[in-house]
Chain A
């Protein structure tokens, strides 16, 4: 009896091993050597839409590795010149700047650069903007009448805003906004503002949670990027039906526009295909894919209008910040010192 139990068990284990080994040998557990390797911290839907359209157009297979901005940038640096990545796409520019500072990016081709306005690629020609997003204040008019809206993002650090706003300080999106503030307002003002954030703001897990919290009336307003709100508006309005957007404008730190970046890695195994991919996503066709994907991010390609629901990028009066120097290193340190991270 005991022996039978034992033998049955052994048989089960053996079968399981075979199943295990069988599935291990399938290709889906290894990166496809025939496919272009794209490291992307951009939204999955958009990255997929680009990859599928690109494959359809060129026949080149694309494999996507997902991640977050900072951790993925950090990962590429850790992997060094041997990184399996051919292309890197980010949501915000600081992660790209990190990789650039480690000299891991290949220079862009002029043909690609010329597809986006000159001020959207760094002078180093190492990468290009592929999309853009604007900072907004989402607010619940039932809890915060439009007349009481803050004039500046900086005001939210004041004592009258205690427990009255929220944000997602752990995310790369918000840290990019702080990086913009740091570049425009200097270290002392940013430090003081972060101190105010620590005592005033509810820390939420991401932009969507922030928006939904405002929508549910748990907090009167929150700092997010614009496209989360627009995506919900064209969809079910489940998370934003009770809310409105406030644009700070006036070159306020709260009017910060963040660039999503794209680049070819210096150590790319498929450099030609990688360049072609970057050229495609910044082309008219590629930017049209972005607009059609309903990601509601701003298109950056020359002559490609963004989704009609969005106020034009030029009217947002973003602060004059050089996106190519934004330093999240220092932001992380400041936020850690403020007890936020």
Chain B
């Protein structure tokens, strides 16, 4: 029976191996048609891309895109995974039935270093000689028959996504999978690089003919500008300004649509659901919680789009090249720049982006300071307190005081981040295990399919990572804010509502009901678990000039920092939604007085202290989760939370006490 036969044969596995910048992922996409899944290898943070393809005979085979590597001797987690898969020791991934080594025809010598290592493993192997067109353009001729004869491996030329060569490759894959015999394993891991390069040079000496070594003229002239000592820096700043502009200005419109959509959804849910605890849970817990994450999606997707674009075109390597000297001053390397930049949108993708840093100490130092970069969840807090407490006048007749305050918060976060990096690299994380070297590949026209596919994969990972935690936490927070219920108070408010309904009508009634609702919410939050927590931490924040009402806001911020604003709005009895609420909250903050002292509670001094507190404090559960995952240790996670909290408390204390000494209120 054919059916039984199908079941007895397992799905066969093909893996793609190769140096970085060989177009390996393009070949993977061409073979699998962009349909693939991403995840992680068990226990490590290395991304696992897997897809499947159909052979001419109808058989479905699985295809895995292994991380780019230069050698089979593992030095980084990425390379460890490649090593384990090819040696059959990787959990959950069987020894592959066929290995495709993707080589860049443009740079055969260095590519053959890895390729010959893989060939010696004795697995069924095919060499995919990619970028055939670029090699031709630069005057390199490769005699494939000679190459096959000298290595004993089938060689197939390809040109990225181009259809005909890929079809040929698929045919060869089917043929090779049909072959029974495996070759002998001759790999010697102790072979010195000098000797292996002699072997490789032997091969290239007879198989590669350099007709006329021409450099790629377009790539060359681009490099002359983009790495120029003046224009290189100008171009870099221009590119980054563009990225920032798009993330913080252009992303605002879609973010607004999303929050409007979420509000609509909440209204709809209120209509559909029966009142009471369930409605409250769905509307204030679930919908609001998911909304808090989804609203950042436009920013995150734009950020990932640019990163993927820079990687695909080759500009990323130039940015690292231009910046390395600056990052070196604080003990980091050029590759730390991108994670830190991403952290301005959100710490989670920022920390994930540190995976490209090979050296452990470099990477760890970058992870530890990434949460200090001022993420976009902090921006609404700066905006609110700046608008409420910083006078709108101008300094030096040019810049507005409010603008300077905002800028100061960002500079503070950058300064603290780089400063702490320098401190960590001089104390806890001294020295390097690896020299900092990287390839500068030729520039390429971006392949938009690849760019969007990478963007989508990473955005999905962000949604899952940050989303699931914020979602759970939103429900916990909802519970803390809404419980315990006080039946006596509930009855009293119900009675008041009934009384209002009996004596008033129309707009007057609406207004009165709104007021009762706000009274009830205020009383509820103040007598809730969150209120109790706020009171509990009050002794710790009192020296900073914060009272327990701000304490509730700080507690709520652990789900998402911007929740400080909506929490303060409830605590201070502010009506309205959206912009109306913000204006009301600003008025409320300006007029709130401390019941014990009778003085204004929020002075400009307290407001600045609170903003600085938010610059430094690590109040974000998604960050804790990503720190734990990427450092692989609770120790480093708690260390990061600890040092940031200490920094936040110390800075807010210094500002409040120092300001008081200088005579500010």
A and B interact? no
Interface residues of A (CB under 8 A from B): none
Interface residues of B (CB under 8 A from A): none
